[in-house]
Structure 1
Amino acid sequence: MSAPAEPIVRRKLSAEVFARLRAMITAGDLKPGDAMPSERELMERFGVGRPAIREAMQALSQIGLLAISHGERARVLAMTPRSLFGQVDAAAEIMLQTSPAALDHLKEARIFFERGLVVQAAARASEADVAALEALLLAQRAALGQAETFIAADMRFHQRIAAIPGNPIFEAVAESMLGWLKQYHTEMLIWTGKENLTLVEHEEIVAAIRARDPGGAEAAMVRHLERSRALYVHAG
């Protein structure tokens, strides 16, 4: 019985250039902040035309490895959890708009994520962390009746909790989820008195974190998010 055929497929020139440039970045030959070689230098180095170089550079830009500015050399970017999750923002927006169940799935995922997050926050919070959360509560109270400012303060509160464990992936995931949800946040909390309820729930969460009570913090966060999930709805 003959072995199955394993044809060698020739890659596009731009794909080869992409692979070589990416290898230069991941190997540290080009570091974050460094300017990329000019198009002409790369054309001569790799023996390819300008279209292959530009296509490869655009591909590197799309995955967050390069910043391309008109009239300037492209520069290498540091890959971070935030830049990584930021690459899916546009796709997440389309998914939420086109899939009826996606918003409910996102709200459920947020509760699953933030209940674990606040457990760690309560176990690890420093006095400075608690003080920062209390300052955010004051800012949110000062924004009562101002929908945009109040909701922005609400988001900062949850982002600050995500920062307490010291894991940048937690921060990036929390920021992305909040950003994806933001456009579905209705202002009905302003007109139904729910903004005061939100503040009370936030105060309960902070009290549990201050007391270094992970179980209490988790219960308070779940109560808050289960109640507030109704505020995120599709328009129309």
Structure 2
Amino acid sequence: MEKLLDPILRQPLSDALYVQLKGKIIDGELKPGDRLPSERVLSEESGVNRGAVREAIKRLQQAGLVVVKQGGKHEVLDYRQQGSLELLPSLLINSKGMVDPKVVRNIMGMRSALAPEIAAEAARLGGPALADKLDPVLCVMEGSLHDLAALQVGAMHFWQTLAIASDNIAYQLAFNSMRRTYHKAWDKLTYVMAREFQDLDNLRAIAAAVGRSDPDAARVAARAHVELGRQALDAVFSAV
């Protein structure tokens, strides 16, 4: 019988095994309703100890990819119904190393809905103290208008500051998941989203709205800002 797994050569072993099994579930090699091989078989095929196997399976359960059935067997779940945001980075880049356009559009849709609300909540709670934290970020970005990579870093810092200031754990965790996903395609997005990174007018408008505790103005400026990135990505994928 053909082996399910490749030998694992790098540490940490449980992480490497988790990545292999997660990939096979997401790619459809292991389908909903399939049973995972026993811990003994997984250990023998991958060359890792049983403790690492158990840890990897535990992570699959936490991600909503498998469930323990009667008799201790682990059954593959439909990640579209049971999975968590942890899976987004794995879905963005497929097993062939290619970006999935549909997933990108889905993420940008989520971002378009979430970013204005993060900005609005940060404005409601932040006030001048938060604006003072945003101003140095904008100053650095203003001095880097022709350096897209620097603008990209600055934009991420700007939004991370707002997410933290929103004091909304749901927003913060969703932002963290999108950030990890974004980093998977960081270099590919630098030039595609240039117009958004260079859009300091709306970022300044957000900072100003934060300073005067105006959530409605912050929401409007944030929506206009992230729309530039969404339109740019739509144009690229439409052309392809």
Measured in 2, the distance between the counterparts of 1:54 and 1:106 equals 32
Distance 1:189 1:59 in 2: 38
Asked if structure 2 preserves the Cα contact closer than 8 Å seen for 1:14 and 1:53, the reply is no
1:57-76 per-residue CA deviation (whole Å, 9 max, x = no partner) reads 33346678xxxxxxxxxxxx
CA RMSD of aligned residues (A): 3.5
* Structure 1 residue 188 displacement after superposition: 5.4
Alignment of 1:1-236 (within 5 A): 14=39, 51-60=49-58, 85-86=85-86, 88-94=88-94, 97=98, 99-181=100-182, 183=185, 184-187=188-191, 194=195, 198-232=199-233, 233=236
Percent identity, aligned pairs only? 18
Aligned counterparts of 1:57 and 1:179: Cα–Cα separation in 2: 22
Which residue identity lines up with residue 90 of structure 1 in the other structure? S
Distance 1:222 1:61, change over 3 A: closer
Aligned residues: 171
Aligned equivalents of 1:146, 1:98: Cα separation in 2: 24
The alpha-carbon distance between structure 1 residues 13 and 226, as it changes in their structure 2 partners (threshold 3 A), is: closer
- Asked if the contact 2:116/2:223 (under 8 Å) is kept, the reply is yes
Q: Which residue of 2 aligns with 1:6?
A: none
Say if 1:113 and 1:133 are closer, same or farther in 2 by CA, change over 3 A.
same
What is the TM-score when the length of structure 2 is the normalising length? 0.58
Structure 2: which 5+ residue stretches go unaligned? 1-35, 41-47, 63-83
TM superposition score normalised by structure 1: 0.59
Equivalent position amino acid for 1:93 in 2: I
Shift of 1:181: 3.7
Displacement after TM superposition at 1:105 (Å) = 2.0
Decide whether aligned partners of structure 1 residues 54 and 188 sit closer, same or farther in structure 2, where only a CA change above 3 A counts: closer
> Counterpart of 1:105 in structure 2: which amino acid?
N
Change in 2 beyond 3 A, CA 1:154/1:94: same
Shift of 1:108: 1.4
Structure 1's unaligned 5+ residue stretches are: 1-10, 16-49, 65-83
Q: How far apart are the structure 2 equivalents of 1:177 and 1:195?
A: 17
Report the Cα distance in structure 2 between the residues aligned to 1:138 and 1:59, rounded to whole angstroms.
47
